[in-house]
Structure 1
């Protein structure tokens, strides 16, 4: 948790004697670190940065291009593709963090990147990386390596995927990349795709498995807690407490009667870090029985553990 300010400490002391006091949080979070920017095509750049440390109270990030706000993201997102750019043009990116009280950090260190030249009518994707290997470098990190791909106009980026979700982008000259923010004692399957300047992606290279070693002590519980499901006429209201995995999550996968039915997504500024609620509109007849559970998308791209399962009967 963030440190208690002198004003807040005074309020707490006065509250003990029934005095009224209101204090506001005016301490901004730290500036985001580890910013990188990689041109993925002639018109797009992939921007990434390190997640804020626990206790910073960060609720979201703002991405700027040459001082102009181009993206706002929830705290669980630490990478974004900025599109609609011009070929053969230099761009400078910075990122600021914001907290729930509306305080903004200073911009992190800027990074400059130049988009490559556009290739007219390029519809041929690169070849897939022929070989992919991976090894754990700690309980929360892994190193993924691959052999270079080829393309008639040149490879501009390599994208690393886990569970169908892109978790990292590396430059055209890279043949390995370090992945962080993983969970201890967890099996992962990674694939790598090459991309060219026209945003054509190769097929996946060979899938590679890696298991992170256990960490000392117990890791965070990734299951949503206190899951509830309440039926009302034409609707079902779900409630849960978000798992504490170091970052708020904006995506939850809902299972109904043992099948994945939808992904609940929260927009920027609405990502729950404590108790969450979501209302579903239903059209099934009254008396239909549902068994429901859900799980959160973790910062490393994997789905977390399932919540407790609830059985409800829909009402008319």
Structure 2
């Protein structure tokens, strides 16, 4: 998911070429280094955190590194284009840059510097801001929406607004902003957005009004389904049978942290990766039971960074106690 405050829309990719050797035409057999990320923004999320976002730096990026001054503070997968930098000091100015690293480990040039100042800490502040009212929205093409709302009130100050699609937080903007453009959406998909206000003490307001929008166009979900899905049944050392799954995460404009496993036509369990989700190939196992000869059908889908469920994977069939397929 990539969202940017109004009126910023699209930024052209910038490739840095210079005498330092970054991005030159002879940077090894694979060509140029990753470009410097563009569209970088930073906004305080609370007295101790800053929300940093950027545009994708083209294809072939393994991960992004976020720097506070000259210190690397975050390392995120290449599909992710935002991060909350935490454990900061209140009432302190910070400078951030972002760099891209390719699969060969080569580090591209830094982005332009962006600045953000955390607000002062507030002692014993347990009063949340009022809910944002009068949320309005409209589609901006098949992959973006524009949202606006009335400012919330707080006994001190509103530091940021968090934007939700369904129950998933997908974007944040600074407390002085009451509008945003949310991009990276899917064509022909219904969405429901809400906004919540946050103060410096991390008190979060109730959700405001819900706005429902459907992006124009069509999307059959095939591009959002996990790829190369495999499923096998095995017998564990305890004598029970387990289902072993393996798949490749869908390519999305953001990081996928949650999957839903469908067993015999029903949603059986959810899998949420804590920390950094696995890159590329992912695996998971869960308990099936102790009876041999039971046949099961299994599929998998991902919760996408826009908060919606992606397409279901190909269906696989397994039978407990049967020989593994060659």
Equivalent positions of 1:241-252 (< 5 A) are 241-245=248-252, 249-252=256-259
1:51 CA displacement: 2.2
Q: CA offset at residue 239 of structure 1?
A: 2.7
- 1:4-23 equivalences under 5 Å are none
Residue 283 of structure 2 corresponds to 278
Task: Say if 2:103 is the partner of 1:100.
Answer: yes
TM-score (norm 1): 0.83
Name the structure 2 match of 1:169: 172
Matched, 1:34 2:39: yes
TM-score normalised over the length of structure 2: 0.81
The residue number in structure 1 matching 2:315 is: 309
The CA RMSD over aligned residues, in Å, is 2.8
Residue 211 (structure 1) shift: 1.0
| Partner residue in 1 for 2:3 | none
Q: Distance in 2 between matches of 1:247 and 1:191?
A: 20
| Gap change, CA 1:87 and 1:58, over 3 Å in 2 | same
1:261-316 Cα shifts (integer Å, max 9, x gaps) = 122538648411xxx34141536323355432111233433221111333323449
What displacement does 1:219 show? 8.4
Distance 1:185 1:6, change over 3 A: same
Specify every segment of 5 or more residues in structure 2 that has no aligned partner in the other structure, as ranges: 1-23, 237-241
Matches of 1:51 and 1:219 in 2, distance apart? 22
Aligned residues: 292
Question: Quick check: 1:226–1:241 contact (8 Å CA) kept in 2?
Answer: yes
Instruction: Structure 1: give runs of 5+ residues left out of the alignment.
Output: 8-22
1:206, distance to aligned residue in structure 2 (A) = 1.3
- Residue 239 (str. 1) matches residue 242 (str. 2): no
Q: Distance in 1 between matches of 2:306 and 2:57?
A: 14
Q: Quick check: 1:298 aligned with 2:304?
A: yes
Distance in 1 (CA, whole Å) between partners of 2:318 and 2:221 is 32
CA deviations on 1:117-167 (whole Å, 9 max, x unpaired) are 111011111111122111101111110111111111111111101132211
Q: 1:169 deviation in Å?
A: 0.8
In structure 2, the residue matched to 1:221 is 223
| Cα distance change of structure 1 residues 113 and 99 upon mapping to structure 2, 3 Å threshold | same
* Corresponding position of 2:128: 125
Show the counterpart of 1:20. Answer: none
Say yes or no: does 1:254 pair with 2:257: no
**Alpha-carbon distance in 2 for matches of 1:227, 1:240:** 4
Quick one: distance in 2 between partners of 1:116 and 1:268? 28
Distance 2:309 2:211 in 1: 18
Tell me the residue number matched to 1:210: 213
TM-superposed CA distance for 1:168, in Å, is 1.1
Match of 1:44 in 2: 49
- Per the alignment, residue 79 of structure 2 pairs with 76
| Distance (Å, rounded) in 1 between the aligned partners of 2:260 and 2:315 | 13
Moved more, 241-250 or 296-305: 241-250
Between 292-301 and 44-53, the greater mean CA deviation after superposition: 292-301
Please list the CA deviations of residues 228-267 of structure 1 after superposition, one character each: whole Å capped at 9, or x if unmatched: 2101113322233443446674543323341251225386
Contact kept? 1:75, 1:249, Cα under 8 Å: no
